[in-house]
Chains A and B, each alone.
Chain A
Amino acid sequence: MPKSVKQSLTQSPTEIEKYFREMVLIRKFEEKCNVAYRTGKAGGYLHVYIGQEATGVGWINSLKLGWDYVIAAYRIHAFPILMGTEPVACMAEIMGRVDGPSRGKGGSMHIYDIPRGFFGGWGIVGGHTPLGAGLAFAAKYRKEDRVTLCFLGDGAANAGVFFETLNMAALWDLPVIFIIENNEFAMGTRLEYHAADTELHKRGFPFGIKHERLDGMNVLQVKEDAQRIIDWVRENQKPYVVEVMNYRFVGHGAADNDQTLYRTAEEVEQNKERDPLHILRKIMMENNIMTEEKMEAIESEIEEQVEEIYSQALESPHPEKSEVYDHIYTDMPVEKGH
């Protein structure tokens, strides 16, 4: 675990309230996604971000939105929402409806908002990491000072292509930050059973890339670390490897219904002390930033908002069958029929 840093609040109450609202929104949005899955409104694979909200909120809030690039794997609903994509559009995509950014062709794992700089949304573990390097390469090629955040999981940190990507990123000084979200599980395999060296930030070491292990649960700390590293990368035009320690309070995917295969209920309970929302509520109370009543009011308000998101998304139509032929090529039709 990274050493805990005594928090002297550098963020304003307005900022802190923003992070709180965003974290609550993600938590409730994800809980609703699980409902959508259980009631058959969403299918396929669905991976929610419950327990990891502070990581997304802290890092995305440190970017120049509309300028910087973000790419991630498949536990992604939070990223486009934090970057400004309409939550209704995200929910519609998760439900396979036409008002999703990919018109229902992507689903939960493949949400993109290219104009806002969110590049998905990839299902092959580790496979998106060279694409992240490519986004950073393009920025450097064009002499733009964009920073790319490439989120991956602890499982992906073992993929061969990730090592190849680190080599290229260091070789060509690409302004990309690889953020390994260590939630302690690669699907159902614990960290110590899948990684020979469990300090995953050290993946950067052989390539001469600056690397560190950071907390991912206290959003205020995450925000400070994220801002410091993003600013450094923008300034120095070099890559960075960060291992963020968080925890997945839910199954790998919505279909992961037997977590006893890889962890105990006691362990989950113990980790709830680290729940990012619990931590932030505590900080806000201790520093008289927000009363418990106001927090509850915000939570109810957002719960209603998510209900509204859900029902609006449900109103979005399914795609027309003829759309199956759309968007295969930019400039030519595909052959029709079986």
Chain B
Amino acid sequence: MPTLTYRDALRQALIDEMDRDPEVFLIGEDIGRYQGTFRVTQGLFDKYGKDRVIDAPITEPGFTGMAVGAAMVGLRPVVEMMTMSFSILALDQVINSAAKVHSMTGGQASVPMVIRGPGGHANQLSAQHSHSLEGWYAHVPGLKVVVPATPADAYGMLKTAIRDDNPVIFTENPGLYALKGEVPTESGDFTVPFGKARIAREGTDVTLVAYSRMVSVCEAAADLLEKDGISAEVVDVRSLLPLDTETIYASIQKTNRAVVVYEDWRSGGFGAEIAARIGEECFDSLDAPVGRVGGLNVPTPYSRVLELECIPNEHDVVAAVRKIG
């Protein structure tokens, strides 16, 4: 099985799906001639040409809305947000248009489109470029929201997203693009279904629930905890909407303790939703209150020292486990 970076895995998924279906096209800022700000689309302009790899003007509402219209008649646009922070400009088109079409038309039309791009902190991009918006989108019925943590999932879930007949918000994380892992690209038909969480690491004493880059933070925390004789299970949620609560609950029924970890602002983030559900459904299995680790409730500062203070790390997770411990 080939080893690829997360970035290359995403690109391979785009290539597979563009080869498979001529109605798949890419649109976004600087994705073509400039090869993509994070190089996810590198080489694709030369390979597929200007009609399928479209350099958009800096008009997120415009090109997102255009993609919705094209998708309503069956094209399969993959919209790149240079960063998910810029999708804030396009919220009207995502929420009022894309998410509503199937319902408002009484099922006559659907919107088979993907909006993908990096969400979360990169490296000193400061307050306006560091948002984690997946929780906002997962709040909206009509959207699907996925947050892969590994190259294999990035590959398999992007392929699933492109084949999906509904609008999918596909959140990458700038901290994951260089991550390497085995990716089953050989057949071209490997896909990862939405709504199925993954046990990233087995354990018996506490369940760490995470997604996207926080999965590797939890894995590092599990290494530290192991040295102290605490066996942590890490559940990689992978998909927020639909959400696989069964796998989360089953793990907690085994470990009787849970800590939810997310990079988004702690208050009102999607981890709070997961924690609330665990409280509703697993009360009898829990030996302690549900723990929660989130990003600091501050606009992300520029200083690397301060930025790192904002992002949850393995020590924060260990501390949260000890607190309920």
- Residues of A at under 8 Å CB distance from B? 69, 71, 100-106, 110, 112-115, 119-124, 127-139, 141, 160-161, 164-165, 167-168, 171-172, 326-332, 334
Contact assessment for B242 and A332 in the assembled complex, using a CB-CB cutoff below 8 Å: yes
A-B CB contact pairs (8 Å), 28 listed: A101-B105, A102-B104, A102-B108, A112-B106, A114-B72, A114-B105, A122-B97, A124-B92, A131-B66, A131-B69, A131-B97, A133-B62, A134-B65, A134-B71, A137-B70, A138-B70, A141-B25, A161-B65, A161-B93, A164-B57, A165-B66, A168-B59, A168-B63, A172-B54, A327-B106, A328-B141, A330-B165, A331-B164
Residues in B with CB closer than 8 Å to A131 are 65-66, 68-69, 72, 97
Q: Which chain A residue has the least Cβ–Cβ distance from B67? A: A134
Q: How far is the CB of A278 from chain B (nearest CB, A)?
A: 36
Partner of B62, one of A104, A120, A130: A130
Question: Does B64 interact with chain A (Cβ within 8 Å)?
Answer: yes
Would you call B59 and A114 a contact (CB within 8 A)?
Answer: no
- Apart from A134-B69, A138-B73, A161-B62, what are 18 other A-B pairs with CB-CB below 8 Å? A114-B105, A119-B69, A120-B105, A127-B97, A128-B97, A130-B63, A131-B68, A131-B69, A134-B65, A134-B70, A141-B23, A164-B61, A167-B57, A167-B59, A168-B56, A326-B107, A327-B103, A328-B142
5 cross-chain pairs, A with B, having the tightest CB-CB distances, nearest first: A134-B69, A130-B65, A164-B62, A102-B106, A131-B69
B106 with A165: CB separation less than 8 A: no
Decide if B102 touches A133 in the complex (CB within 8 Å). Answer: no
Q: Is the CB of B69 within 8 A of A132?
A: yes
Contact partner of A161 (CB less than 8 A), chosen from B56, B61, B103, B109, is B61
- Point out the residues of chain B lying under 8 angstroms from A120, CB to CB: 104-105
- CB of B144 closer than 8 Å to a CB of A: yes
Q: Nearest Cβ in chain A — how far from B57, in angstroms? A: 6
Q: Is B51 an interface residue (CB 8 A)?
A: yes
Residues of B within 8 A of A161 (CB): 59, 61-62, 65, 92-93
| Given A106-B105, A130-B93, also A135-B61 (CB < 8 A) | no
| Chain B residues with a Cβ under 8 A of chain A | 23, 25, 51, 54, 56-57, 59, 61-75, 92-93, 96-97, 102-110, 141-142, 144, 164-166, 195, 242
Q: Do A134 and B66 have beta carbons less than 8 Å apart?
A: yes
Residue numbers in A under 8 Å from B142 (CB-CB): 328-329
Q: A130-B65, A330-B110 are in contact. Are A141 and B105 (CB under 8 A)?
A: no
Cα–Cα, bound, A331→B63 (Å): 26
Q: Is the CB of A327 within 8 A of B102?
A: yes
| CB closest chain-B residue, reference A167 | B57
Report the bound CA distance from A137 to B67 in whole Å: 9
Bound Cα distance A334, B195 (Å): 12
User: Are B106 and A164 in contact, CB atoms less than 8 angstroms apart?
Assistant: no
Contact A138 B75 (CB under 8 A): yes
Across the interface, name the chain B residue whose C-beta is closest to A137: B70
Query: What are the residues of chain B within 8 A of A130 when measuring CB–CB?
Result: 61-66, 68-69, 93
From residue A200, how far is it (CB to closest CB) to chain B in Å? 19
Contacts of B61 in A (CB 8 A): 130, 160-161, 164
Which A residues lie within 8 Å of B73 (CB)? 69, 135, 138-139
Residues on B with C-beta less than 8 A from A171 are: 57
